[in-house]
Structure 1
Amino acid sequence: MATGLAIGLLASPVGVAVADPKPTIKQAKAKLSRLNNKADHVVERFNTATERHKTAKKKYGQLNSSYKDKLATVARLRAQVITMAVNDYQMGSDVTSWPAMLGQGDPMSMLNGMALSGQLQAERAEKLAAFDRENKGLKTQRDLAQDALVAADDERDKVEKERAEILKLIQEQKKLLRELGAYKSGDPNSTGIKYTGPATGNAAAVLKFAFGQVGKPYIYGGTGPRGYDCSGFTQASWRAAGVSLPRTTWQQWAWGAKRRVSLDALRPGDLIFSEGLGHVTIYAGNGNIVHAPQTGDVIKVVKFSSYGRRVVGAIRP
């Protein structure tokens, strides 16, 4: 027997790696919790970069539109100046200085001399002055638009960087959830459940909407109607009550700086923020919350006591 064992050991391939033991359910859940916490913050960075990109893109659009308007104004005034030069030529006026004036960046120096010599009427002098003012402002407007475009491109790059990290995290989350048999794809067309809690007024409208989304999937960057992330969900729910919240958890927390409430005094509709501002939920009353949890899960109602994330505070919109 000993000889056979020795032969078996000698015959075993040298250097063959022994597979790592499969993680226990407890270990897998702990890893998933860490991934979810990390994903919370990455998604909010993605949302923030997305909002900044939208703002920068809008600013560029406005400045570029102003630049085009000014460009058209300069072209129109230039055409008037050329018409004035042609008329003077046809009338036999001294126009030897017109080409030089139209070709230089600052026609005012020549304009002043011509005006002093009485060669231009007041109306013509004003047209030339207007042409000069608009011409000078054109470069400034163009530079502002170009700076705004660079800023928008920079924010777009940040969005794509965060998106790439999120996609990597999503794959890890989905793999773990499937191993645990806990992956939920959700139903984008879910009609939810009826809210029967104690909310009144605006909060009742908020929770009627929120409960109507139960069963829809968590989607990073999602603002509805087929799926949401946590802050997209709270924003949409409060919009149903006529209140406009900012897009991200960080912005919502800052927006509510003067609306903070104690966790001991929660009312239905209050927003509860996790430590680090990576996640936000809605208090539904009777010790329940409704929220969009994380990738591989659906919008759902759970006990606040089972929330699983540390809480930093709450606001009442």
Structure 2
Amino acid sequence: MASHRRPKQPSRARVTVLTTAAAAAVVLSAQAANAAPSEKPNKDEVKAKVDALYEQAEQATERYNGAKEKQEKLQKEISTIQDNVAREQEELNKLRDGLGSMASAQYRSGGIDPSVQLFLSADPDDYLDKASTLDQLSSQQVEALKKIQDKQRELAQERAEAAEKLKDLASTRTELGNKKKEVQGKLAEAQRLLNTLTAQEKAALAAKEARASRSAAARVELGLHLGSGRASAAFSAAQSQIGKPYVYGATGPSSFDCSGLTSWAYAQAGVSIPRTAQQQANIGTRISSMNDLQVGDLVFFFNDIHHVGLYAGNGQVLHAPRTGTVVRYESMSTIGGPFMFGVRV
């Protein structure tokens, strides 16, 4: 017999929940449909991000340069110590040979002195500490033993110093590798951003930079009055490199980074200055006001002093700016970081 029961109706609460959920789904769908896709950054935004990455890369480059310079210095010091050790070892061998000849002479004349025999079979350091045995040696033998003792101590000290410097060298090489990876990472990220630009956008940015460089060069010619001396010679040397590419860690003559250019330029003037911008900032006479700068003075930028160039007169600088550029003139107001001070070498 068929049932006449009515089907159970959903509760009012359940209907409310379902209705609310359906409405929310409709709203979310509408939002998703109407949401604008993420916009591609324009060329000016890309340039700003790329410039920031290049600045970070230059900071890392200066740290890389410092580690590289330290590595080269340690290698020279280690080489000198190793040469000293080899020479002192040879001198020690000659002293021992001399004492051995003395013992042979004693043997031929009636036997080896017990003290000398003991030396030949043991370390003289411990032996010479026993003052009572000195009476058994001739003055010549005492002198020979003391020379050997002193030479052994020198050798031990030199070898210990070499071992410490080798440890420092290993640590510096690790630091150098890390800094290199940091620079390469920043440059790769900058290149990835640049690759998002069209050929037309890249050309527009390049043209803008070229116009700025020409304008800076024109202002240099208007305000350029070369003096005499090494600053003038260094500036002239740097001028001869205009157009050479920026390469991090490079010191010329085919490519440069910022401190590589300044150190190379002064070297051509017969003046040796340190390798990195921070080191160069601590030499010569500091010039606080831009109004007191002279052509060829070193000029430093950014709070951490990671960029340096040569003052070109009339508010311009001659420098190696960053990756993707060449040695060129530029207004000091467009470097991207504040002018900190100058240095007259």
TM-score by length of 2: 0.76
Q: Name the residue aligned to 1:72.
A: 90
Decide whether the 8 Å contact of 2:286 with 2:341 is kept in 1: no
Q: Partner residue of 2:74?
A: 56
Structure 1 residues 138-147 or 245-254, which shifts more?
A: 138-147
Q: Which residue of 2 aligns with 1:267?
A: 294
Is the CA contact (8 Å cut-off) linking 2:289 and 2:341 kept in structure 1? yes
Equivalent residue for 1:150, pick from 153, 160, 167: 167
Report which stretch shifted further, 194-203 or 241-250. Answer: 194-203
Describe how 1:1-317 pairs up with structure 2 within 5 A: 20-105=38-123, 106=125, 108-109=127-128, 112-117=131-136, 120-178=137-195, 179=197, 181=202, 197-202=224-229, 203-256=231-284, 258-275=285-302, 276-317=304-345
| Structure number with larger C-alpha Rg | 2
Deviations 1:124-163 (A, max 9, x none): 3211221122123321221111111111221122111111
**Alpha carbons of 1:77 and 1:176: their partners in 2 closer, same or farther (altered >3 Å)?**
same
Q: What is the CA-CA distance between 1:107 and the residue it aligns to?
A: 5.3
Quote how far apart the aligned CAs of 1:71 are.
1.2
Amino acid at match of 2:322: Q
Q: 1:45, CA displacement in angstroms?
A: 0.4
What's the CA shift for 1:172? 2.2
- Quote the residue 1:15 is aligned against: none
CA–CA separation in structure 2 for the residues paired with 1:237 and 1:88:
67
Taking only aligned residues, the RMSD between alpha carbons, in angstroms, comes to 2.8
**Fraction of identical pairs, as percent:** 29
- Give the distance between the partners of 1:158 and 1:227, measured in 2 at CA: 24
- Secondary structure of 2:341's partner? strand
Q: Which residue of 1 aligns with 2:32?
A: none
- Aligned to 1:315, what secondary structure does the other structure show? strand
Partner-residue secondary structure (3-state), 1:284: strand
Conserved 8 A contact 2:115-2:133: no
Gaps of 5+ in 1: 1-9, 11-17, 185-192
Deviations along 1:95-139, one digit per CA (max 9) or x if unpaired, are: 44544322323254388544414xx33223211221122123321
Q: Secondary structure at the match of 1:254?
A: coil
Residue identity opposite 2:188 in structure 1: Q
1:10-52, Cα deviation, whole Å (9 max, x unpaired): 9xxxxxxx98532221221111121122112101100111111
Contact persistence 1:174–1:183 (CA under 8 A): no
Letter in 1 for 2:45: Q
Aligned equivalents of 1:230, 1:201: Cα separation in 2: 24
Match of 1:140, as an amino acid? Q
Distance 2:340 2:294 in 1: 16
> Per the alignment, do residues 260 and 206 of structure 1 end up closer, same or farther by CA in structure 2, a change over 3 Å counting?
same
Amino acid at match of 2:242: V
Check whether the contact 1:177–1:296 (CA below 8 A) recurs between aligned residues: no
Deviations 1:247-288 (A, max 9, x none): 1000011124x4324112222112221122111121111332
Separation in 1, partners of 2:290, 2:129: 73
- Figure out how many residues of one structure are paired with residues of the other and give that number: 292
Instruction: Give unmatched runs, 5+ long, in structure 2.
Output: 1-28, 30-35, 208-216
1:280 counterpart SS class: strand
